[in-house]
Structure 1
């Protein structure tokens, strides 16, 4: 049965909108919080020394060549990154103001996944749980093994945590056969969701319309749709029952569209209760 609770709103990349210079920055964060959004979404990268930073891209230019963020110390990264925030300071800023939508952009060494508590993803999640509480955050990632590690750790430690496997990754530039395999695995995600143990369906809005939303309903899982920006698309996805959470580059418009729908039981939803199925 579909829930009729109001659809929640997440500010994409801290609410930077179309301005890449504002992505994952303090001005964007404060602007999103001033809107009273339900969630703030941000991208997390891990530097070589273990420092976690808010940064979307996997690499940046160093002396004329691309270097992976994961290969740079925090000092090297900070000297070259045009804009960023530290993960710990953002978590602190969100306390009592909004919930965190943490999109992990890094992975651990393959051997670490045999011991979930030893993975980098769990370390980042543990920090967020300690600051915000498991009920005030969700974790998403493109990597199936990372989802499984965080879910296993959450179960082992008794945390009721939503962890989502994201569907809709960029495939441009990949070999044609691999592009096809990836898209098929996203349009028919049952096997990946069972193996990863994801308990939150996360899909690009185009993928969500191609059967993934129906998949989430059949399995009784909450649906997070990203990134919904046009007024027409927002009217579709903000209708109660279509999704649990919508991520948008225009959270102000998303909240305006939501206001057109009845806000029945909204206070209970915003208080952090688990989404109903």
Structure 2
């Protein structure tokens, strides 16, 4: 059985919010040998994108520069904070151009945006992992939303995953991405082979040591 993969949440800043989505955190996570690096991507409104935790207060990093830094060193976990389908497709297209579809998972919260990226990838003949983020109690029974979105990855908050979304993904044969798993006990649980495909954590060093 394949081992569970590890994604460094907001580039693996840990408890230091000033390091979230920073090149410093990125380099530290890459040095650890993480499988994926996760970062938040926001539209600037001018056709370009910025990597930041909160673009209203952070200057952020150029999206292209982050993709270039990840290329060939890890796989990218691009969490899109977009409102339009056009922005979702544009950001996904840019990531695929740099990293390749095989080294990328794209996640977001809007079913319409997920579907737009899935439709675009299909039209381009790409096998791209595109996940619908589920984190609210009312999303514990997401059958219609997932079907409408055409998501091919279930992206679940760890609490909802335990309450039923892990079983939901398993019944449908969909990979499960669990976020954000930070305690040692919870990491031990989700890192057992077969529990998930990918685990996102603020503590990638701990996760990798527990996984072995």
1:29 aligns with 2:5: no
SS at match of 1:165: strand
1:166 aligns with 2:133: yes
Distance 1:236 1:213 in 2: 12
- Residue 49 of structure 2 is matched in structure 1 by 52
Q: State how 1:217-236 maps to structure 2 within 5 Å.
A: 217-236=170-189
What is the CA distance between 1:238 and its match in structure 2? 0.2
1:242 aligns with 2:195: yes
- Residue 174 of structure 1 is matched in structure 2 by none
Distance 2:55 2:27 in 1: 25
Distance 1:49 1:137 in 2: 24
- Residue 210 of structure 1 is matched in structure 2 by 163
Q: State how 1:70-149 maps to structure 2 within 5 Å.
A: 81=58, 83-108=59-84, 113=85, 119-149=86-116
SS at match of 1:59: coil
- Residue 253 of structure 1 is matched in structure 2 by 206
SS at match of 2:2: coil
CA contact (8 A) 1:10 1:38 kept: yes
Distance 1:130 1:50 in 2: 16
Where does structure 2 lack aligned partners over 5 or more consecutive residues? none
Distance 1:188 1:56 in 2: 29
Tell me the TM-score normalized by structure 1.
Answer: 0.75
Q: State how 1:183-198 maps to structure 2 within 5 Å.
A: 183-184=137-138, 186-198=139-151
CA contact (8 A) 1:58 1:105 kept: no
Distance 2:114 2:200 in 1: 19
The 1:191–1:58 alpha-carbon spacing in structure 2 relative to 1, beyond 3 Å, is farther
Where does structure 1 lack aligned partners over 5 or more consecutive residues? 61-80, 114-118, 170-182, 260-277
- Residue 153 of structure 1 is matched in structure 2 by 120
Distance 2:144 2:163 in 1: 17
Distance 1:85 1:25 in 2: 8
What is the CA distance between 1:95 and its match in structure 2? 1.2
1:41 aligns with 2:38: yes
Distance 2:25 2:61 in 1: 11
Provide runs of 4+ in structure 1 moved above 3 Å: none
CA contact (8 A) 1:56 1:105 kept: no
Q: Could you give the per-residue CA deviations for residues 214-238 of structure 1, whole angstroms, max 9, x where no partner exists?
A: 0000000000000001000001000
SS at match of 1:101: strand
Q: Could you give the per-residue CA deviations for residues 160-207 of structure 1, whole angstroms, max 9, x where no partner exists?
A: 0010000105xxxxxxxxxxxxx22x1001110100000000001001
What is the CA distance between 1:50 and its match in structure 2? 2.1
Tell me the TM-score normalized by structure 2.
Answer: 0.97
Q: Which structure's CA Rg is the greater one?
A: 1
- Residue 17 of structure 2 is matched in structure 1 by 20
Distance 2:19 2:45 in 1: 24
CA RMSD after TM alignment: 1.0
